[in-house]
Amino acid sequence: MINLEIPKKAEALVNQAYQAANEVFRPISRKYDRAEHSYPSELDMLASLIDGLNSSGEGGAGASGVRKDDNDEGGKKNVNGANLRTVVGTIEMCWGDVALLLSMPRQGLGNAAIASVADPEQLERFAGTWAAMAITEPHFGSDSAAVSTTAELDGDEYVLNGEKIFVTAGERADSVVVWATLDKNKGRAAIKSFVVEKSRPGIRVERLEHKLGIKASDTAVIRLENCRVPKENLLGSPEIDTKKGFAGVMETFDNTRPLVAAMGVGVARAALDETARLLSEAGIEVDYDRPANAQPAAAATYLQLESDYEAAHLMTMSAAWMADNREPNSLEASMSKAKAGRSVVDITLRCVELCGTLGYSEQSLLEKWSRDSKILDIFEGTQQIQQLIVARKLLGKSSSELK
């Protein structure tokens, strides 16, 4: 039986994350939404605190990964709920501001990939780096298997060539985890991930994107031209295993998709809390002891939105719990990401609608959250891709059988 209550040992982390969200993120949220591409320097001290939490094993707000190679009872032991702690911390932080969380130094999705699949030597070598994740390219969006950036082995180094777009924290990060193919003729199995330090010749930021939401977070286009990295920077095995195919590199998503789902849960909770406050000020109280059809229409709608939120919340927690307990969670990771991604968009837009002019104006953060929410339904695999993955898992179909 899965107990999805917050463990007592995680309560301190949740409280600290809430305090950071309420006292650091919320006060500067509007400031950096208006000042797109400006770095929130207020985050530096907070990032140092989270580094300390990670070092102590308490979990941070996005950089923790799920190790699958532990030698404890065949890798079946619950390792103190590390992934669950990261998820609940992420929910609290995104209740404050999801764009500011994405701007936190050393808490990028690339850090989660390194923490999940790097070997012990790489973990030590890349400790303290701030890593972005670079997958998408100009000619494809959600089909990660279509990667055309190349990595050719030349002596003791790989030479990378290609262009990556929509790289979150691409300008500010110290390193980029780049997905590239070792051999285009061998298909998905040849796609590997490489840690590329930004200081290396041949990697440069071409431009920053102007976006609908998450404006505090920089989103970059990155070009690699004969960029040389040591072969030790390849994450995982350099062998091309056509039997295992794309599964190895895709395992990264089993860890990062629940984190993105947690971001959606946090933003949805923020919108619901603000809406409940504004409805109360308007004289509309939500009564949990009466049926929805016996309450004002606004209260009935709110109850519907809250039930949608609860479903996304529980699915996200379940996917994290499975990861911590070494249970395969690819299906649940995609289900949680699909559910939370769709729910947060629906919830924030309906909250704007319920609150009328207050929801649409900048008097409240509701309109900002409605803009921020859309990216959570897109990156780390769109809604449509998640549904496709779920269908393949449930029907036992391969990617070639169900497209």
| DSSP E strand boundaries for 149-271 | 150-154, 157-168, 175-181, 191-197, 203-208, 219-230, 234-235
Q: Are 116 and 255 in contact (CB under 8 A)?
A: yes
- Provide the CATH topology of domain 247-395: Butyryl-CoA Dehydrogenase, subunit A; domain 3 (1.20.140)
pLDDT at 48: 79
311-353 residue pLDDT tens: 999 999 999 989 888 899 999 999 999 999 999 999 999 999 9
Please write the tens of the pLDDT for every residue from 56-111: 555 555 555 555 544 444 445 555 578 888 899 999 999 999 999 999 998 888 88
Is pLDDT above 60 for 1?
A: no
Query: Which pLDDT does position 300 carry in this prediction?
Result: 97
In this predicted structure, what is the pLDDT of residue 204? Answer: 98
Name the residue ranges covered by the structural domains of the chain.
Answer: 8-125, 131-235, 247-395
Active site residues: 380
Which pLDDT belongs to residue 8?
79
172-203 tens-digit pLDDT: 999 999 999 999 888 888 999 999 999 999 99
Structure tokens at 63: 């950089």
Domain covering 8-125 assigned CATH 1.10.540 in the classification: yes
pLDDT score at 248:
55
Q: Which residues contact residue 297 at a Cβ distance below 8 angstroms, ignoring those fewer than 6 apart?
A: none
pLDDT at 109: 82
- Per-residue model confidence (pLDDT) at position 143: 73
Q: Is the pLDDT confidence value at 3 over 70?
A: no
Q: How far is the CA of 205 from the CAs of 224, 225, 384, in angstroms?
A: 9, 12, 29
Cβ atoms 364, 333 nearer than 8 A:
no
User: What is the per-residue pLDDT across 281-298, written as a single tens digit (0 to 9) for each?
Assistant: 999 999 999 999 999 999
Q: Quote the CA–CA distance of 263 and 256 in Å, as a whole number.
A: 11
**Spatial distance between the Cα atoms of 105 and 242, rounded to a whole number of angstroms:** 36
CA 87 to chain centre: 10
d(CA 357, CA 402): 45
The predicted pLDDT at position 82 comes to: 80
pLDDT score for 285: 94
- pLDDT over 80 (residue 213): yes
Residues 365/270, Cβ–Cβ less than 8 Å: yes
Measured distance CA(202)–CA(160) in Å, rounded: 9
pLDDT of residue 80: 58
Q: What is the pLDDT of residues 124-159, one digit of tens each?
A: 999 989 999 999 999 887 777 789 999 999 999 999
| Higher pLDDT, residue 44 or 54 | 44
pLDDT higher than 90, residue 264: yes
Question: What is the structure's pLDDT at 38?
Answer: 94
Q: What is the pLDDT of residue 98?
A: 97
Query: Per DSSP, what are the bridge partners of residue 205?
Result: 222
Please answer whether residues 148 and 134 qualify as being in contact, where contact means their C-beta atoms are separated by less than 8 angstroms.
Answer: no
Question: What are the CA-CA distances from residue 100 to residues 96, 109, 390 (Å)?
Answer: 8, 14, 30
- The mean pLDDT of the chain is 89
Is residue 6 over pLDDT 90? no
Class of domain 131-235: mainly beta
Q: What angle do CA 213, 311, 301 make, to 5 degrees?
A: 75
What is the rounded radius of gyration, in angstroms, for the C-alpha atoms of the chain? 21
Amino acid present at 336:
S
Q: What pLDDT is recorded for position 183?
A: 93
Q: State the pLDDT at residue 75.
A: 47
Read off the tokens for 395. Answer: 């029907």
> Higher-confidence residue: 42 or 324?
42
